[in-house]
Chains A and B, each alone.
Chain A
Amino acid sequence: MRGHDWINTCLPDELVVEIFRRLDSKRSRDACSLVSIRIGATGSPDLFVHLLSTRFSNVTNVHIDERLSISLPVHLQGRRRGVENSSASSLKLNYLNVNNGSEEGDLDSLCLSDVGLAALGDGFPKLEKLSLIWCSNVTSDGLASLAQKCSSLKALDLQGCYVGDQGLSAVGQCCKQLEDLNLRFCEGLTDKGLIELALGVGKSLKSLGVAACAKITDSSMEAVGSHCISLETLSLDSEFIHNQGVLAVAEGCPQLKVLKLQCINVTDDALEAVGASCLSLELLALYSFQRFTDKGLCAIGNGCKKLRNLTLSDCYFLSDKGLESIATGCKELTHLEINGCHNIGTLGIESVGRSCQRLTELSLLYCQRIGDVGLLQVGEGCKFLQALHLVDCSNLGDAAMRGIAIGCSNLKKLHIRRCYEIGTKGIVAVGEHCKSLTDLSIRFCDRVGDEALIAIADGCSLHYLNVSGCHQIGDAGVIAIARGCPQLCYLDVSVLQNLGDLAMAELGENCPLLKEIVLSHCRQITDVGLAHLVKRCTMLESCHMVYCSGITSAGVATVVSSCPNIKKVLVEKWKVSQRTKRRAGSIISYLCVDL
């Protein structure tokens, strides 16, 4: 290894950043950025962006995320392959934002700045989609210069950027084809900017999202209602928006199809306006701590006859009556999610089962008041049900499972978690009747045993199975699955204390398509079983195996060397040898014990 160039070839990105951080003068950092492309790309985003724009001319999508750790786009690492006229159209850059508030002088050059953004505009004039995630050094000036160059911009996503009103107005003036705008944690934006943008791109804007932007109020929404006649999607997460704002949009945007609200100050009046005016509404989602009552929901049920998708999350005041009104009014309903609405019980679900014959997906999360009768009715009425999610529904038992299994023979996806009353009998019924089932998850349903898996293996050809925490399941069940489900791609058997190497060997023998496996907390699995597994499962991409006391660094090395497609390994740091690290350092994630 004489005269080895380790900075460019061996040193991990985080350490290159550390070296950069300690260069305390701008001159040193600028000089260092020019030493090699790898160092420059890692330490100097502005330079890097400038380089990218000279090398790739057809880029239409750029996504810059400064929350995550650094990774170079693959094509730049293979620099010999002639990147002059690359046909890449989409670039994703993840940058570590090292501005951790320390007084260590001028660290700003380590984040994307206005200069970089202007270079982006210069370099990619055909840009259509731009996402800037937590680029804290970007301001209005940068966005304005980019807007002036990129008139084809169709989608803009700003999260955690301190861009001001001038930036957004510039976009409104220059990017007349803008269809999609998403603003999240943009503390620098006020109504002025959004109003000017609405004026500018009102005709083209189809989708708008505003979340956690404290200075955007009802005035902006009124402007949106006045100018954005093509608006189809609106997503609002703000305590500064009241009925007035939502009303303005409901009355002004007749083509509204999707409405998502997480606004604690909005009440039934707004919903009534939506029910009266938004007759094209197809998706409605109401989240956390809303003050809505049945009155509002009934208005929706009476007015929005085309409603297909309804999500009610943590809406405490909604009860069975409101849900009944939706069920009888919205016969086209295909997706229903009820999450933590503690006043909705069996009666509401029964009415859904009776009236919503086209239901294809039902999610009941933290609904302790729903009993077996409700689901039995769903089984009888919703013949086209394809997906059922149940989390923490402690009143549901085997009878409910049987009812669903017998009635919904088209069921493809069944996810149950912590429904402690559901046991082996219920799952056996599923195995006997749901021949189309491909996706099964019964996490922590600890009354389910091996016979259930044997029945499932017999009747269904699963692609996805998660039995994490079902400690009664052992080798017998998993072996049956291995033999009966050759199409298996994803398997999670974590926390199963009775599972051993025999099952691993059987999986290796019979499931060659396996892509992801989670073995964490399985004490009885050893290097031997792991070796048998990876010998034949050559398509394996992800392996989680923390807290497996039977697995050693030899096992980890075997996984890394046997699986050519491996992308992620989660394991304890001290189980990774130097050679394994060299071979596959970037894909290995370590268990963090420092918390």
Chain B
Amino acid sequence: MELLCIRQWISGLLPTVKKWLSAWCIKPVGGALVRQEPEYILLALMGSPLKKIMLCSSEKEIFSVEEQVMVQHSVIINNMIEDGSYNHEESKIPLDCVDSKTLKKVIDYCTHHTHHHNDNQEDLEAWDAQFLNVDSNGLYDLLMAANYLEIRNLLDLIYGTIKNMIKGKKIDEIRRIFNIKDHGFTPEEEEQNRKEYPHFY
């Protein structure tokens, strides 16, 4: 069937099946409950005519995601597809720098922001806050992945979070949050610093 026919057929079906499909639409994705749009579920059932690309994590797990979603967010993936080094029929994009858990989260972020870009600001911010509700190691993994894939808005989000973790806190507190056990100053230097800037400690 041609893509156009499928779309027409689906839009014809939708009003009647939307109700019973909505029961199927709640799906855990990356630790958060996310509503999947019914159209996409149906398309998935039909055998996705939307252009998909395959991302392969460092653990060799393959994730299928809409090309449009990744191209919109990741400069690296956009470049790879543009310069023709990605062949849709056979290749997958190997992302040896990103493990499966992190890659799944990154894909969630990009997918959510593409499909929900029309949502109001508060809802998006709430979703982002929930998304970044991870421990320090998780934050690091996300930062490195976002940096590698060059996803500007995710990077800004993560830096914003780190900034909030630092701003206004005492140094001992910051060291605790980021697990810094060996700060590198000699005992004399540390003592001198504490004497000179007592309000920071």
Contacts and interface: CB of A to CB of B under 8 A. Distances in A.
B7 to A, nearest CB: 34
B168 A28 contact: yes
B183 A36 contact: yes
Contacts of B160: 22
B189 A54 contact: yes
B20 to A, nearest CB: 43
B63 to A, nearest CB: 16
A42 to B, nearest CB: 12
A22 B159 CA distance: 7
Given A28-B167, A31-B197, A574-B76, 17 more contacts: A6-B137, A6-B178, A8-B182, A11-B143, A19-B163, A28-B168, A30-B197, A31-B174, A32-B174, A35-B175, A35-B178, A37-B184, A38-B184, A79-B184, A574-B94, A580-B96, A581-B97
A489 B171 CA distance: 50
Contacts of B93: 574
A553 B94 contact: yes
B97 to A, nearest CB: 4
Given A23-B166, A32-B174, A577-B58, A4 B140 contact: yes
Contact of B97 (A2, A31, A38, A578): A578
Given A574-B80, A576-B97, A578-B96, A10 B140 contact: yes
A340 to B, nearest CB: 36
Contacts of B200: 30-31, 34
B83 A5 contact: no
A2 B179 CA distance: 9
Contacts of A23: 163, 166-167
A594 interface: yes
9 contacts: A5-B179, A5-B181, A6-B136, A8-B182, A11-B140, A22-B159, A34-B200, A574-B95, A594-B79
B50 interface: no
B29 interface: no
A6 B181 CA distance: 11
B162 A5 contact: no
Interface residues of B, number: 45
Interface of A: 1-8, 10-11, 15, 18-19, 22-23, 25, 28, 30-32, 34-38, 51, 54, 79, 84, 553, 573-574, 576-581, 593-594
A35 B80 CA distance: 39
B184 A8 contact: yes
A6 B135 CA distance: 12
A35 B190 CA distance: 10
Given A3-B179, A19-B159, A578-B58, A37 B166 contact: no
**Prevailing SS type, chain A contact patch:** helix
Nearest to B184: A37
Contacts of B95: 574
Nearest to B79: A593
A2 B147 CA distance: 22
Nearest to B95: A574
A35 B98 contact: no
A79 B170 CA distance: 24
B43 interface: no
B66 interface: no
Nearest to A6: B140
B180 interface: yes
Contact of A4 (B137, B170, B175, B186): B137
Interface string B40-63: 000000000000000000100000
A408 to B, nearest CB: 47
Nearest to A37: B184
Contact of A18 (B94, B159, B182): B159
A34 B174 CA distance: 10
A79 B187 CA distance: 12
Interface in B128-182: 136-137, 140, 143-144, 147-148, 155, 159-160, 162-163, 166-171, 174-175, 178-182
B180 A8 contact: yes
A324 to B, nearest CB: 55
A18 B166 CA distance: 14
B9 interface: no
A125 to B, nearest CB: 20
9 tightest A-B CB contacts, nearest first = A577-B96, A37-B184, A36-B183, A578-B97, A3-B179, A6-B140, A31-B200, A5-B179, A578-B58
B11 interface: no
Contacts of B179: 3-6
Contacts of A22: 159-160, 162-163
